[in-house]
Each structure stands twice: as C-alpha cells, then as structure tokens.
Amino acid sequence: IAAQVAQGNGHLIRMPCTVIGRILSEDAEDGLAFWIRDLRREGVPVSPLILQMKNRAVAA
C-alpha cells in the first residue's frame, strides 16, 4: 500500500472487507419489507442507517 501511495495511486486501493453476516428467515425478510413499505407510505424516508439498525434488531 505504501508503494501505491508513493506513486500517487493510494486513493485507488481498497482493503478487502471481511463481514460476517446472518441469513434472515423468509418471515423476517417479509416483515422488513412490510415495515419499509409502511414507512414509505407515511412519507418517512428510509436511510441506509435506519435500515441497517432495523436489520440488526431483527437478526438479534
């Protein structure tokens, strides 16, 4: 990485992201889809952060 930075290409290098995830059940996915649909019908914007927090709560 240091060599790439020295060449001026350091901003193009990405470190691999190792994420351990969970697979949600079909019922949990349906529940999330209905939750998002209901929020959008009420005019509430659903940001990626809100979705991430809700996913973590459902997966726990």
- Give me the pLDDT at residue 17, please: 64
SS (H, E, C) 38-55: HHHHCCCCCCHHHHHHHH
Domain segments of the chain: what residues?
21-60
pTM: 0.59
What SS3 class is residue 24?
coil
pLDDT, tens only, 7-58: 666 565 566 666 667 788 889 999 999 999 999 999 999 999 999 899 889 8
- Give me the pLDDT at residue 32, please: 92
